[in-house]
Amino acid sequence: MTIDSTHNYVRECRGNGNGRKREDIGGMTASRTKSSNRGGQSSEQQAIAAGRRSGGIMSLGIDKATLRTYYLELLQDLSFTNTRESCYPDPESVGVISAALSSLCGSYVHARMINLSASASQLCYKLHPMDIRTKIAHFIALTLTVDDLSESLRGEARRRFLEDLAFFQMKFTDPAVYAKLCPGRGELHPSLEDFIAHLKSEQSPFFPWDIRLHAMLVKCVLDFVEANQVEQHYAEHPLVYTLDMPYFPTFLRHKAGMSEGSAYFSFILDSSVQDAPRDDRLFFHRALYPMIPDLVEFMELLNDVLSFYREAETGDSTMWVLNQAKAHGLTPLQVLRQSAKAAIQVKKRLMASVDRSSSVELKEKLVQFCEGYVAWHVGDKRYRLDEVLGTGGWYQGGFWK
């Protein structure tokens, strides 16, 4: 999902890719209460100094109280609806989607991946028909699984899987050429073979009724597969980020995150936008296509901000925020602030664009997606935001995984 995203998208990712968008929270400057101590520092300053020695967010000069204040202001600026109804995936719908995925997915897809994918689809795309939500969830499950396998496999299984990733494009576009050039090599990993089958059948949310969006989705998958190979290379051979590569972290993040594919899913319209009479092709290029860059940017920026906490606490030194800071000569806190402000502005532009489209259905689905995408990060326990926001009974949605 991401979602990766969601991954994201909406993604089950560990945050160990050099360019990948990750979880994070920015910090506002917190007021510091002075207290008498031998070092002349406040108790908060002493805690941060100790945190720097032990790792985590405090090693970056950010404390949890600051993060909580910062998050609350960010969520308020995003008009986040803090209710259980809007922030919790409907269990019945998730159960229906999960049951369908269990029959579609191979044994290599863990039950948790299935539930995660069903929940992401339900949160972000719940205004779509059930069959479309199921197809999107299937796509998410395949994405999460490939991402997970590229990081978790070891030994010969890992070597073979990474080699399979390199052959994915050839096997997808021309199986005959693959068979000719690689005689006796056999099939790719089942997850990759199933991904190919998904993209070449009506399991895909766009195939065959919208070949334009389907082609774009295929392009996103090829980018994602390539980015997985690049990230695994950098995991073994770390890249030192410098000021002369300012765009590289974001370049890798975009390829790996699958956020563009997630954006296209938002534009599936049940009624063909009957409330805005127009030629479909003209409407796509006039109203939908110009929104894609902003929707992609919204997802990637928000994921950077909301995923930072977990990554910092787990000691991930390769997360996007840190790489971006190194590549631009900034502090992580400055990057977080800039990303959060940019995400708010991007959402405002998106809402203005969808208003100009004169499509009630499109606006409702876009608003739902943005709301669900935030809820996904806040409610999914992988992001550990309950450790920041879960005190004092603020969050009404429940932490569901």
Same domain (yes/no): 69, 115 = no
Q: How far apart are the first and last CA of the chain?
A: 15
**Digit-coded pLDDT (tens) for 15-28:** 333 444 333 222 22
Unique residue bearing structure tokens 């997606």: 369
Identify the CA nearest to 20 among candidates 172, 194, 223, 293: 223
Q: Are 13 and 2 in contact (CB under 8 A)?
A: yes
Same domain (yes/no): 252, 392 = yes
CATH number of the structural domain spanning residue 270: 1.10.600.10
Identify the CA nearest to 309 among candidates 56, 76, 66, 75: 56
Structure tokens at 207: 């195939």
Same domain (yes/no): 318, 347 = yes
Q: From 209, 224, 254, give the residue that closes a domain.
A: 209
**Digit-coded pLDDT (tens) for 157-211:** 999 999 999 999 999 999 999 999 999 999 999 999 999 999 999 999 998 888 8
> H/E/C letters for each residue in 60-88?
HCCCHHHHHHHHHHHHHHCCCCCCHHHHC
Exposure of 171 in the CB half-sphere (CA atoms within 13 A): 22
According to the model, what pLDDT value does residue 78 have? 93
Same domain (yes/no): 395, 261 = yes
- Identify the bridge partners of residue 23 per DSSP, sorted by sequence position: 307
Same domain (yes/no): 290, 390 = yes
> Could you tell me the CA-to-CA distances from 32 to 29, 46, 48, 335, 391 in Å, in that order?
9, 11, 11, 22, 21
Which DSSP letter does residue 29 get?
P
- Identify the bridge partners of residue 307 per DSSP, sorted by sequence position: 23
Point out the least confidently predicted range of 113-127, 289-303, 307-321, 364-378: 307-321
Domain count, the chain: 2
Structure tokens at 95: 């159960």
* Residue 171 domain boundaries: 90-125+129-209
Does 182 map to a domain? Answer: yes
pLDDT grade for 32, boundaries at 50, 70 and 90: very low
For residue 307, the SS3 value is strand
Q: Is the pLDDT of residue 94 over 60?
A: yes
